[in-house]
Structure 1
Amino acid sequence: MISSGFLLRPCKNFIKQSYKHNWIKPDGFETGIQVYNCITEGKTPLILKNKQLITWYTCGPTVYDTSHIGHACCYVKLDVIQRILKSYFKYNIVMVMNITDIDDKIIYKANQTNTLYKDVATRYEKEFLKDLQDLGVTEPNIILRVTENIELIIDFIKKLEDGGQAYKAKDNSVYFDVKHYNNYGKLQNIGDQMIQQEQNDFKKSSADFALWKGSKKGEPFWHSPWGTGRPGWHIECSALASHILGSNIDIHAGGLDLRFPHHENEEAQSCAYHKTNQWVNYWLHTGHLHLKSAEKMSKSLKNTISIQEMLKIATPDVFRLSCLMSHYRSNVEYSKELLETAENLLKVYKNLLNSCDDYKKGYLKATINTEILTQALNDAYDNIHRSLCDDFDTPAVIKCLNDLVSVTNSMLHATVSSNSDGGLYTVMGVANFVSNTLSMFGINFESKTHTSQDFTEIMDILNTFRQNVRLIGVANKDQEVLKLCDNVRIRLRHLGIDIKDHAKASSWSR
């Protein structure tokens, strides 16, 4: 959605700019991956400047309040893409993120709560980083705070002013002069645009945006060549990202709501600063998270659910799987039903892995058609590879996994007609493939079910004792003994430990 501040009414004092916004295909190394390109409005090949290294910048939060599940959805989806690139395609990603720790909203919150703006920013930054950790989102390699890099931002603005792309206004603010940049609007694909030329109180054109905000009474400020003030929002990301990643970045990511005006303004001022036609080669934007019957989740609409509130009713894996079930560019409708669907699907995968383990240990007898299962495994591999290369199509990957699980379960749980030869390696191949694919997305059953050696030994002893008692109960048809065994199984299940009774043995798993 284009910001209402950019939908200008035609007037007699305007110039009409007609530019064809072109994406420049980078020189470099082909990856075999296609990604959606908002400039071309279609998929284009992902080409890297360096053979194995990806430079990546993600817009971080403005830390004035508790993060909500809309933020969680964005960062989880971007984390999934990064994991795919690192784990599956074996690329080395250097990821940079900013923290906006000075802003109108932070100042307002500080005044509301009668606290220092620094205390507000510090509190919510800590909350945000803990939320990322709890969600299993990989922390960026480099985190840059705005207030720790003011001089760097000032130097960036000064160069734009010296080059004629910025000007100081009567309010002691500095604005980017859009009419002196001839490719504005390419991310939003505006096309023919009307840029107002009539004067207003401060700006030459209402499309111009602030690089430096002149200070107001009672607000925090820093000294600059233009007087006291603080940076504008858009310039912060340009200056910080350029400082670390330079004049050309492989991937810049964020939510769809940032495409215009934030990313548009970043690209404009950065291209002007670096004297280049393309600062970022690929912009990745995640879809919004909606509540049922709500247009969008946002703090301004006061319809948010905090990340920690959500984690009280769903595990991080369940939420991550609910994000995987929709494409990263698609909107997500958050609901209890969505989480239940993801939770049930997660149980399907866990049960499949447990059944494969039971088959390996001999607890589960089954007839395995090795030829059919091997073909299903090969098809899953090929289809998932194509899906990952096709703009990181995770819903298609989930469908492929479900098809493979269904074929495998149909053999593991069918009536046994005969023992099969060579079935074990194929079943374990399926287990490895399912486990590795989910692990690539950040859902790792092994690390989360890992227990100490002492605990494992204790459970083995308990399971063997219960199994022997149960067999005595079965032999003697002693219902009281069998009831006691059932009670042990039920109580352990409440602790997350599942015991399965087979003909002459019992198995346990987390």
Structure 2
Amino acid sequence: MASDGRKQPPWIPPQARPDAQLPRLKIYNSLTRSKDDFVPVDPTGRMVTWYACGPTVYEDAHLGHAKNYVSTDIIRRIMKDYFGFRVKFVMNTTDIDDKIILQGRQQYLLARFKQEHATEDDSVSDSILAEAKAAFRHYIGKNLPSLPSDTSPETFPEAADKAYKEKAEPSPLADAATAKQGQQGQAVTVADLLLKAHIGTARSAVEALQAPGKLPEFFTKTDDILLPYLDALHGAEMDSNNHKIYLELTQKFERRFFEDMNALNVLAPDQLTRVTEYVPQIVRFVEKIVANGFGYATPEGSVYFDIDSFEKAGHSYSRLEPWNKNDPALQADGEGSLSKGRSMKRSENHFALWKASKPGEPAWPSPWGHGRPGWHIECSAMASEVIGKTIDIHSGGVDLRFPHHDNELAQSEAYWSTPGCQVQWTNYFIHMGQLRIRGLKMSKSLKNYTTIRTVLSQKEWSARSLRICFLLMPWQDGIEVTDELMKAVVSWEGKLNNFFLKSLDLWKHSSAGTTTMQELGMADQQLLSALDKAKADVDTALCDSFNTSAVMRILSDLVTESNSAEALSDQTVILLARWVTRIVTIFGLDPEGDLSNLVRIGWSGLDIPAPAKPYIYPASQLRDKVRTLAYSGSVDHTAIAKLADGITIAASTPVVESSKPYDQVLQQFRTNVKALAAQQAPAKDLLALCDQLRDVHLWNLGIYLEDRNNPQPALVRPLDKLLIEARAERESAGTAKAKAKLEQEARKAEREKELRERAKVDPLLMFRTSDEYLEWDESGIPTVDAAGNVVSKNRRKKLVKEWEKQKKRHDEWLPTQQAA
């Protein structure tokens, strides 16, 4: 309550100092579910504090994480490099929670089990097999309860098919339902995916139990059943003071997470906080919440947040997602998997601030006994410690809104507020939409995810194409990766590649990179006007809650307009290219981007490899000259031979290993050119050789020569997805055309064969073999039908025409038979 007794509004717009210069920026704020004017706490309006919920580091990051952190990075870069804010960006890594405790403990126990049961010849001993069979029974008993209790590895396949056939293999209607949004539709799908995962794990174990083989392969197939089994047996025996078990796991995956982020060109946080390094601060934070009357300890040593007392004091709880305030499933998920069972909290919707550690769980000292932080308290305490009592921006994935961020808000306001003075802990909450598969977010437990490093290693996606994908969609919306979206990404990136390549080529050939002032024509003036409009439109879009999808359309349209304009001056194209370069650099699309370099054009990856340059450029130049002479009408073979002999290579001797493939292509091309010149080969053979260099030899080396109108030389460029897909489409169209032609020829041949067979029939007999008629005239034309009726005049007229056609065919066929 305010000092005058009135209830304060749920969100209080920050006030800027009158002389502060602020952009017209609006941000979609999850607190208000609307776009609010952005006003930092900093009186000057320049400094922005930002706390981002980081990863729980116990496994490799997947594409869902990429969507969250790349989208966050894009907004951070826009705030910093476009709007000019000084952003203090703080992020945490959760290095202790229920998932980490389970994972760390299970991995430790499994490693110990393997070490204790190692054999010299890697054979599977009877004791290992017995333990694995017990683990199998434990696993199916817990996760596949519909199976008979006496199910063995031998009877599992039949039992699983009988018990779970319909659920494990959803009908088309069930598959269609998976795309539906909404809690009910998703719950059904989650259950289906979990069931499939459990059945798959059990099947893998069955294979190993029935044919054990050697230990490494055996453990690969049984690890997933041994982990929970060993934890059930020995998990409670772990020393609660041995934090090393968990830190070894989290340090490994924290390092790998930041390697992934670096590969995605995501900026490192200005400050990183880890839960285990802030436990004393967390304890003090909880103590104050209790002292303020909003928390209570229970006899077993846990501390809970009292939502009822919080609301009675005039605060609002569950401000981000009030509709989920009493959702027991989400509340239970927020408490963690190790918190299941009876507790001594006063109400089911109260949540843990501090958890009394059970046997086998890590623990730290506290006034309430040995325990560990609750999930939500970590961010409240760490953000308050390093930023203070008010944060400008708090971000995370959309799935964190409730209960995580709602609980953070309540805890932090309970900590910072005093009677008569409520504190608004976070002014702007921004939540990134999820990357979804068939309507569901990616999840490690559902096994429906692909890791970032796997995706980048397979070359299907690059860091740039992933970022383009996220830029094309509103950051707060979910993304379903479809073929249409992938095509849009390839098309956008390919268009910019082409534009930058041609702009760079213009720049390089304009007085060694310096453009001389030219008189601007009408086309230049129109394009410069379009550029001015694009700048204004981009500003409007970015001020509209970082509307990058609109900016991507603006850039694409501007490039299209430039490509379609005729008689543009070099300086206009280069000016346009530099501005587009600046925007894509702000968006983080170039890991080598440098906003201080005002003359830079394009992004990295537009050039061919350095080892190729001394060989490919001379090969391209020779090819250009051969093509020019071949198209001249009268081919000068002597001149062509001299050109091949005159190629000079600015390269080291001997050729370095990395340059050998390119040198081989150049030397072979020179040899072939000289051979054709010596043979006085026609122009078409020379042109075919030039095409072969472009379409086969260089293509296989990842290089393409883009032919242009004379006198422009071919543009030497690396292959990109757009070129590869365009060629694949041409080849597919060519294959389809050839197939259609063959099918047409086959149909024609079949018709001709049929006509030849029909021509053999004597017209006198053609109607006599039919059951439709009873009587015929002397020519074999029917006169009475099978019912005894005289054939009508109209019907007879048609029959006569058929008879005459057949007689003509037969008469034409007879001479061929006589000749044969």
Q: Shorter-chain TM-score: which interval?
A: 0.7 to 0.9
The residue that corresponds to 2:706 in the other structure is 500
Aligned match for 1:71, one of 51, 57, 65: 65
CA spacing shift, 1:192–1:118, aligned 2, 3 Å: closer
1:27 and 2:51 correspond:
no
1:431 and 2:577 correspond:
yes
Answer yes or no: is the 8 Å Cα contact 1:314–1:339 preserved in 2: no
The residue that corresponds to 2:538 in the other structure is 384
Secondary structure in 1 aligned to 2:39? strand
Residue by residue over 1:181-221, the C-alpha shift from the partner in whole angstroms, topping out at 9 and shown as x without a partner, is: 2323353252897899xxx8411122211111101111111
What is the alpha-carbon distance in structure 2 between the residues aligned to residue 20 and residue 161 of structure 1? 23
Answer yes or no: is the 8 Å Cα contact 2:297–2:368 preserved in 1: yes
Answer yes or no: is the 8 Å Cα contact 2:321–2:401 preserved in 1: no
Q: Which one has the bigger strand percentage?
A: 1
| Deviation larger for 82-91 or 382-391 | 82-91
Q: Any gaps of 5 or more consecutive residues in structure 1?
A: 1-17, 413-419
- 1:308 is displaced (CA, Å) by 1.9
What is the alpha-carbon distance in structure 2 between the residues aligned to residue 192 and residue 357 of structure 1? 54
Sequence identity percentage: 37
1:468 and 2:620 correspond:
no
The residue that corresponds to 1:226 in the other structure is 368
1:410 and 2:564 correspond:
yes
The residue that corresponds to 1:297 in the other structure is 442
Q: Which letter does structure 1 place at the counterpart of 2:538?
A: I
Q: Which has the higher contact order (CA 8 A, sep 6+)?
A: 1
Residue by residue over 1:79-133, the C-alpha shift from the partner in whole angstroms, topping out at 9 and shown as x without a partner, is: 1101111111111111111111111111211233226222221222122111111
Answer yes or no: is the 8 Å Cα contact 2:101–2:361 preserved in 1: yes
What is the alpha-carbon distance in structure 1 between the residues aligned to residue 574 and residue 487 of structure 2? 28
Q: Which letter does structure 2 place at the counterpart of 1:65?
A: E
The residue that corresponds to 2:470 in the other structure is 323
Secondary structure in 2 aligned to 1:433? helix
1:129 and 2:258 correspond:
yes
Q: Which letter does structure 1 place at the counterpart of 2:534?
A: A
Alignment TM-score, normalising by the size of structure 2: 0.55
1:149 and 2:278 correspond:
yes
The residue that corresponds to 1:5 in the other structure is none
Q: Which one has the bigger helix percentage?
A: 2
What is the alpha-carbon distance in structure 2 between the residues aligned to residue 392 and residue 195 of structure 1? 32
The residue that corresponds to 1:354 in the other structure is 501
CA spacing shift, 1:344–1:193, aligned 2, 3 Å: closer
What is the alpha-carbon distance in structure 2 between the residues aligned to residue 135 and residue 153 of structure 1? 32
Aligned counterparts, 1:157-236, within 5 A: 157-182=286-311, 183-188=315-320, 190=322, 201-236=343-378
| Deviation larger for 115-124 or 138-147 | 115-124
Aligned counterparts, 1:74-89, within 5 A: 74-89=68-83
Q: Any gaps of 5 or more consecutive residues in structure 2?
A: 1-5, 112-244, 329-341, 511-520, 591-601, 636-681, 719-820
What is the alpha-carbon distance in structure 1 between the residues aligned to residue 249 and residue 524 of structure 2? 61
Q: Which letter does structure 1 place at the counterpart of 2:621?
A: T
The residue that corresponds to 1:111 in the other structure is 105
Q: Which letter does structure 2 place at the counterpart of 1:304?
A: Y
Look at both structures and tell me which one has the larger radius of gyration over its CA atoms: 2
Q: Which letter does structure 2 place at the counterpart of 1:486?
A: D
What is the alpha-carbon distance in structure 1 between the residues aligned to residue 326 and residue 448 of structure 2? 35
- 1:263 is displaced (CA, Å) by 0.7
- 1:368 is displaced (CA, Å) by 7.0
CA spacing shift, 1:263–1:463, aligned 2, 3 Å: same
Secondary structure in 2 aligned to 1:79? helix
| Deviation larger for 377-386 or 301-310 | 301-310
Aligned counterparts, 1:263-278, within 5 A: 263-275=405-417, 276-278=422-424
Residue by residue over 1:330-355, the C-alpha shift from the partner in whole angstroms, topping out at 9 and shown as x without a partner, is: 11002344223202210011112223
- 1:489 is displaced (CA, Å) by 2.7
The residue that corresponds to 1:15 in the other structure is none
Secondary structure in 2 aligned to 1:425? helix
Secondary structure in 2 aligned to 1:95? strand
Q: Which letter does structure 1 place at the counterpart of 2:445?
A: S
What is the alpha-carbon distance in structure 2 between the residues aligned to residue 42 and residue 232 of structure 1? 31
Aligned match for 1:341, one of 488, 491, 494: 488
| Deviation larger for 484-493 or 396-405 | 484-493
| Deviation larger for 300-309 or 231-240 | 300-309
Secondary structure in 2 aligned to 1:81? helix
CA spacing shift, 1:181–1:485, aligned 2, 3 Å: same
Q: Which letter does structure 1 place at the counterpart of 2:603?
A: E
What is the alpha-carbon distance in structure 2 between the residues aligned to residue 214 and residue 478 of structure 1? 86
Residue by residue over 1:238-260, the C-alpha shift from the partner in whole angstroms, topping out at 9 and shown as x without a partner, is: 11111111111111100111011
The residue that corresponds to 1:6 in the other structure is none
Q: Which letter does structure 2 place at the counterpart of 1:278?
A: Q
The residue that corresponds to 1:93 in the other structure is 87
What is the alpha-carbon distance in structure 1 between the residues aligned to residue 489 and residue 603 of structure 2? 19
1:485 and 2:690 correspond:
yes
Q: Which letter does structure 2 place at the counterpart of 1:408?
A: S
Residue by residue over 1:398-439, the C-alpha shift from the partner in whole angstroms, topping out at 9 and shown as x without a partner, is: 111121122111125xxxxxxx4x732222222122222211
CA RMSD of aligned residues (A): 2.7
What is the alpha-carbon distance in structure 1 between the residues aligned to residue 271 and residue 608 of structure 2? 33
Alignment TM-score, normalising by the size of structure 1: 0.87
CA spacing shift, 1:195–1:100, aligned 2, 3 Å: closer
**How many residues get paired?**
478
Q: Which letter does structure 2 place at the counterpart of 1:392?
A: F
What is the alpha-carbon distance in structure 2 between the residues aligned to residue 53 and residue 457 of structure 1? 49
What is the alpha-carbon distance in structure 2 between the residues aligned to residue 455 and residue 93 of structure 1? 42
What is the alpha-carbon distance in structure 2 between the residues aligned to residue 31 and residue 464 of structure 1? 51
